[in-house]
A and B are shown apart, each in its own frame.
Chain A
């Protein structure tokens, strides 16, 4: 009932003459970029916070909070001078201390930042004066400014460099970006107000993020002019929106792929033959059909990626071959059901409740595995349970989810044995070496080769059933002008948008 009422309430919302309303499947639970792990958080943080450097319209690196920088001749360090007109939303100046604090907080093990990997290359940061930061690198860097894209936090917003998700900052974030956090609202929406003190003009006075959990309603809401923007359109809604003259579609690249991950820390998924066998029981094309059109994948990159290894094919949907693999792992078919150590095989799949189409996919997968003789239980988790069970406790057998990458398509955190996002527990010394080689290589040909080898090795080890990539489209009202969508952070160029 709640799901029915909510869209009706949204339909009744007043037209956004002065503001732009956009939909997210789920509101970000907190607004603190140091803990960002989801796309809704990344998009909201892009409005509120700034980094030292950012992308310009041509997606080249350009200073944001930084005014200038100088790399030492030995390339072992750099100094960054901050803009003199950078101020926090509460009126205090952005200082070098804030930059140092952010780096220290991200590196502080007590913080357990999901972003810690983004500052791992920094050995030390010190403030040499109010506007100058000296950064020393772990090893020489060629273009360190390319790595200074993480968001800067205000030191005065925290009591120490041990930052917690539960710190009060999460509900009253202070940034320096083009929009200021205004309010969390009762309907789970978030309102952002234009930062009148920002260095450049900001075209739209107010932005409102509306949580519309049922993605089926999002397209209708933009057609009824109850929203001005959808950040991602369901594939099945594309035709309807394409033919509507009040809305325009903006395709953009998200390097996003879906997967069913196996918990390798838990038997029987620690056995490669089991993972391979289960993968061959899954008819991926059949799972995709109700979701929409997309490309089926054989590994951890989208098909157009420079790193996609086109010589690797997705595993076939082959019950006989799957049976051989499972038998080799000690499983036995007892009548219609697979057994292991004398017990019928049953496993649990977890998925985030906000994951679009997750229910259709899970039910379809249940049916496929049931037919093959395996019982699958499904748990849909709210955000808190997801963080607890998947990220923290790794309490699952299978996980259905998706990863979205920026254009660097850096899968290190997902597949390196030390990766902060490797909650499936994949471990391969060979892949670790290749990922290290890819990260350290300055030769693009060598990096390409190493990551194509990673694709092949990961596909063979099957820590996941790699599913598909879907096309990403934003939909915006034709009233919104000057639209350029950033392919990952979406709102990077929002200050230039105009609402007519």
Chain B
């Protein structure tokens, strides 16, 4: 793929014949394929950053500066915001289950009472009578500094792979490791606060037309199964257009344009980005079955556990969140696992969902087969 980027030279190809849908003809993909020289110009200033952005490697894109960095920042803000939604849900379920199970509330309950979408109030959140009050106070203070722009978010991320509090439990002789419930919310806030406008906000986006925006969600159906099916049908309609468009693009492109089309998986990755945009909108519209269908259809099934040009971190975040909303707690862990290694801040969510999975099944008798 990199070879296609580097070998790309300015050329004088004629624009290819366009697909039936006029807005597709004006999309950034059509421009890249039909006018590779323009693409070369667009990426010239921050080529490495764009390479990283195209691969959905946002930390590397951000390090490269310029438009790729600005775009990566926006993606990160959305990524953490989606995960924060999952985190709120996981905490809420954990505490509800915990209470229903009649377990001693301990720190978990007190933390859940204190956490939530509102900013943290004070370092004395849990009082001074609890184990680890000092550690908690320090953590809360750091959150407040990051939210106020007085400390880098990296300072929080550094702490993410260790539990925030360790509570000894006399009855079991073991301890409960409690994760930071505010981590993702603070990171989303920090990323939003640091957002910089990008000059080029269409390249490698999910915008399928010249004016921006992703395909509209189908009208909601007041039944989860039917809503999922409606969104699957919408994707099939999009795919029918994209299939025709892909053929038209390939047929009309010159060698450089075709190389870009294939090597950068332009149609596949744009489709995935558009579906992720739609899935985020579906989550915001309280349509998790739709979001799950869109996310599952966006996934690159040839490498379903890896971040890449088709599978963005937000795709995994959307699928995990939708799985949680639809009761598939264990399945959410499958979606979280691929992003945990690259994004240490996800560790807190991962462990919280781990605990929730165990709690949800604690009274069950397992089944296994060959």
Contacts and interface: CB of A to CB of B under 8 A. Distances in A.
Interface string A220-245: 00000000000000000011001001
A445 B368 contact: no
A250 B296 contact: yes
Given A239-B301, A481-B229, A482-B229, A304 B363 contact: no
Chain B CB within 10 Å — which of A37, A248, A306 has the most?
A306
Contact of A293 (B240, B305, B336, B370): B305
Nearest to A302: B334
Interface stretch (B34-42, B61-69, B173-181): B173-181
Contacts of B117: none
Contact of A408 (B236, B303, B326, B364): B364
B304 interface: yes
B144 interface: no
B167 to A, nearest CB: 9
A306 B362 contact: no
A146 B363 contact: yes
Interface string A244-277: 0100111111010000000000000000000000
Interface stretch (B9-17, B84-92, B350-358): B350-358
A442 B365 contact: no
Contacts of B364: 146-147, 149, 408
A444 B303 contact: no
A38 B172 contact: no
B131 to A, nearest CB: 14
Contact of A304 (B103, B171, B334): B334
A60 B100 CA distance: 14
A194 interface: no
B362 A444 contact: yes
A25 to B, nearest CB: 11
Contacts of A303: 337
Chain B CB within 10 Å — which of A305, A487, A496 has the most?
A305
A37 B370 contact: yes
B22 interface: no
A136 interface: no
Given A121-B365, A293-B303, A408-B366, A496 B330 contact: no
A401 interface: yes
B366 to A, nearest CB: 2
A67 B370 CA distance: 32
B305 A295 contact: yes
A330 to B, nearest CB: 34
B365 A238 contact: no
A449 interface: yes
Given A245-B240, A245-B243, A306 B327 contact: no
A146 B360 CA distance: 10
Given A250-B296, A304-B337, A39 B369 contact: yes
A409 B365 CA distance: 10
Contact of A473 (B301, B329, B359): B301
B162 interface: no
Contacts of B357: 306, 407
Interface string A421-460: 1000000000000000000011111111100000000000
A488 interface: yes
A410 interface: yes
A448 B358 contact: yes
Contact of B226 (A118, A250, A482): A482
Contact of A487 (B228, B328, B354): B328
Contact of A410 (B177, B224, B299, B365): B365
Given A404-B369, A444-B355, A445-B355, A242 B334 contact: no
Contact of A306 (B225, B297, B305, B354): B354
A36 interface: yes
A59 B365 contact: no
Interface string B290-310: 000000110101111100000
Contacts of B333: 304-306
A443 B236 CA distance: 45
B161 to A, nearest CB: 10
B367 interface: yes
A141 B169 CA distance: 22
A251 B366 contact: no
A318 interface: no
Chain B CB within 10 Å — which of A121, A255, A445, A483 has the most?
A445
A413 interface: yes
Interface of B: 101-103, 169, 171-172, 174-177, 224-226, 228-229, 232, 236, 239-240, 243, 296-297, 299, 301-305, 326-331, 333-334, 336-337, 354-359, 361-370
Given A249-B301, A412-B366, 9 more contacts: A39-B370, A117-B365, A141-B363, A248-B232, A306-B333, A411-B368, A443-B103, A443-B169, A443-B172
27 contacts: A59-B329, A121-B365, A146-B365, A242-B302, A249-B296, A250-B296, A251-B304, A293-B303, A293-B304, A304-B333, A306-B355, A352-B370, A403-B369, A404-B369, A407-B361, A408-B361, A408-B365, A410-B365, A442-B362, A443-B171, A443-B174, A444-B359, A445-B174, A445-B175, A446-B174, A481-B229, A487-B330
